[in-house]
């Protein structure tokens, strides 16, 4: 899935992006904390699992054709032509490779992809991508280590909220868990509304623990980070 198709899927247009930007801006006026939101089509290509699944189905197809060769060969010869043994072996191999290619393509459909990828692999990929995005977006470079990232990964239907050490030293990770869960649960129904609500909920926690100071510079861009897009 491309970034463009992801935005279309989530119905996030320019107006929706502005709503998210404004939600972040309004929240940051009340806290010294900084919030960034990133969305990704997926956190990994998972090509290994897709290919492995395809190979398994291909091997099963090959084995089944060999075991049923005594029935398949006479049927083919009856309706087509008499074939040498090597031809059936080549035909079986060719069909098996086609099955592998077809299944590999089929597993790129998000719904199917979610079913074949192990949960542990998805969790690891989301954690790794969220962390790399945190640093890549410069959220770790705020003056008081007061940045947080709301990371959304569509394929895995998972959300991670990462806080810099200045925030993590005062606020437990568990404080963000329910916000992340609510966002993940409501992502498909109304992504823009769900993201804005998550931003506001994070803002309430930050406001309580990190109220705005007299000088409250905006250190991180409020623009929605779209991984896989032209800028990322």
Are 52 and 103 within 8 A, CB to CB? Answer: no
Shared domain for 162 and 211, answered yes or no, is yes
Shared domain for 209 and 134, answered yes or no, is yes
Shared domain for 143 and 196, answered yes or no, is yes
- pLDDT attached to residue 115: 85
Shared domain for 159 and 204, answered yes or no, is yes
Residue 232 lies in a domain: no
Sheet holding 147-153, edge to edge: 158-163, 147-153, 34-40, 225-226
Among 115, 134, 161, give the residue marking a domain's end.
115
Residue 107 lies in a domain: yes
Pairwise CA distance, residues 216 & 32, whole Å: 6
Residue 104 lies in a domain: yes
- pLDDT attached to residue 131: 95
Taking the CA atoms of the chain, what radius of gyration do you get in angstroms? 25
Shared domain for 29 and 133, answered yes or no, is yes
Residue 167 lies in a domain: yes
Residue 200 lies in a domain: yes
Shared domain for 215 and 199, answered yes or no, is yes
Pairwise CA distance, residues 213 & 100, whole Å: 60
Q: Which domain holds residue 86?
A: 47-115
Residue 231 lies in a domain: no
The count of structural domains within the chain is 2
- Global pTM reads 0.84
Shared domain for 83 and 190, answered yes or no, is no
- pLDDT attached to residue 231: 59
**C-alpha closest to that of 226 among 14, 37, 44:** 37
Mean pLDDT by 10 residues, the chain (232 residues): 87 95 94 94 90 93 90 78 77 92 88 88 95 94 91 95 93 92 93 96 92 82 85 58
- pLDDT attached to residue 214: 78
Residue 134 lies in a domain: yes
Shared domain for 179 and 202, answered yes or no, is yes
Are 166 and 190 within 8 A, CB to CB? Answer: no
- Among left, alpha and beta (phi > 0; psi -120 to 50; other), residue 228 is left
Q: Which residues have C-beta within 8 Å of that of residue 151, sequence separation ≥ 6? A: 38, 39, 40, 126, 129, 130, 133, 134, 159, 160, 161, 162
Shared domain for 125 and 63, answered yes or no, is no
Residue 84 lies in a domain: yes
Domain CATH code at residue 134: 3.10.310.50
Q: Which residues have C-beta within 8 Å of that of residue 55, sequence separation ≥ 6? A: 100
Among 115, 141, 158, give the residue marking a domain's end.
115
Among 97, 115, 133, give the residue marking a domain's end.
115
Shared domain for 222 and 140, answered yes or no, is yes
Shared domain for 131 and 170, answered yes or no, is yes
- pLDDT attached to residue 40: 95
The dihedral sign for the CA sequence 160, 164, 167, 173: positive
Shared domain for 62 and 134, answered yes or no, is no
């Amino acid at each position: 899935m491309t970034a463009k198709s992801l935005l279309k899927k989530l119905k996030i247009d320019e107006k929706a992006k502005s709503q998210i930007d404004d939600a972040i801006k309004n929240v940051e006026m009340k806290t010294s904390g900084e919030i960034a939101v990133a969305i990704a089509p997926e956190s990994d290509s998972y090509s290994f699992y897709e290919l492995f699944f395809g190979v398994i189905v291909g091997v099963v197809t090959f084995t089944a054709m060999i075991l049923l060769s005594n029935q398949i060969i006479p049927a083919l010869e009856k309706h087509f032509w008499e074939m040498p043994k090597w031809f059936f072996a080549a035909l079986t191999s060719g069909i098996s490779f086609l099955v592998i290619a077809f299944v590999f393509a089929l597993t790129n459909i998000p719904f199917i992809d979610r079913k074949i990828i192990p949960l542990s692999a998805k969790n690891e990929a989301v954690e790794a991508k969220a962390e790399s995005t945190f640093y890549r977006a410069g959220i770790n470079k705020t003056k008081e280590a007061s940045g947080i990232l709301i990371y959304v990964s569509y394929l895995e239907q998972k959300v991670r909220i990462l806080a810099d050490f200045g925030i993590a030293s005062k606020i437990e990770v568990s404080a963000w868990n329910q916000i992340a869960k609510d966002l993940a649960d409501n992502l498909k129904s109304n992504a823009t509304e769900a993201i804005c609500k998550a931003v506001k909920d994070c803002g309430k926690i930050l406001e309580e623990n990190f109220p705005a100071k007299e000088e409250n510079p905006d250190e991180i861009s409020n623009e929605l980070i779209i991984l896989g897009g032209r800028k990322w």
